[in-house]
A and B are shown apart, each in its own frame.
Chain A
């Protein structure tokens, strides 16, 4: 239950930070800003979904984690790590080509890694691990 509350707290903190950022940064809402905000919203939504799943498990008196959910997490983590290596290579190439600023590059990399993990988790979850 403690872990579920922490997940909710972190997700709420991320959403709050984005709201504060949007209001204070006076964004111009170009493609880059829209992509960044969408990415953060997807990640915060993902954390909320995981939190709700854990809460429902708690209400059903099920364990919040078991061997299957841990396996899904492990597989998604290893897959996203592998894909992220290529993501950073691509970002480094893009920074050379377009002259991206360092903080933009790091921000895009961190956001990209989180998104890659989210999509890896969805993919592993949909396919299952029965073929292994």
Chain B
């Protein structure tokens, strides 16, 4: 699973800490999410998508073969 968090964060002019505070997690979690080293819970994915005003599937990209 890939995600567009880094790109969307830059587009919304948000720092990692600001995004983390908006969704109620540690900055470290955002770092690991952006690097693709952590798959978020459905709740966190929903909250992140909500911050960017997009549906989950436009923030988190699923590949059929996975």
**Chains A and B are bound partners:** yes
A-to-B contact residues, CB < 8 Å: 57, 60-63, 66-69, 71, 127-130, 132
B24 at the interface (CB under 8 A from A): yes
The answer on a CB contact under 8 Å between A128 and B37 is: yes
Which residue from A67, A129, A130 sits with its C-beta under 8 Å from B25? A67
- Minimal beta-carbon separation of A128 from chain B (angstroms): 3
B20 at the interface (CB under 8 A from A): yes
Which residue from B29, B39, B41 sits with its C-beta under 8 Å from A130? B39
- Minimal beta-carbon separation of B17 from chain A (angstroms): 7
Most chain B CB neighbours (cut-off 10 Å) among A57, A67, A71:
A67
The answer on a CB contact under 8 Å between A68 and B36 is: no
The answer on a CB contact under 8 Å between B32 and A128 is: yes
**Chain A, residue nearest B23 (CB):** A66
Cα A26 to Cα B64 in complex, Å, equals 65
Please give, as numbers and ranges, the residues of chain A lying within 8 Å of B39 by CB-CB distance: 129-130, 132
The answer on a CB contact under 8 Å between B28 and A69 is: yes
Most chain B CB neighbours (cut-off 10 Å) among A60, A69, A130:
A130
Cα A42 to Cα B26 in complex, Å, equals 25
Which residues 13-54 of B have a CB within 8 angstroms of A?
17, 20-21, 24-29, 32, 35-41, 44
- Minimal beta-carbon separation of A88 from chain B (angstroms): 32
For the complex with contacts A68-B38, A130-B38, 4 further pairs of A-B residues with Cβ separation under 8 Å are: A60-B27, A67-B40, A68-B25, A130-B32
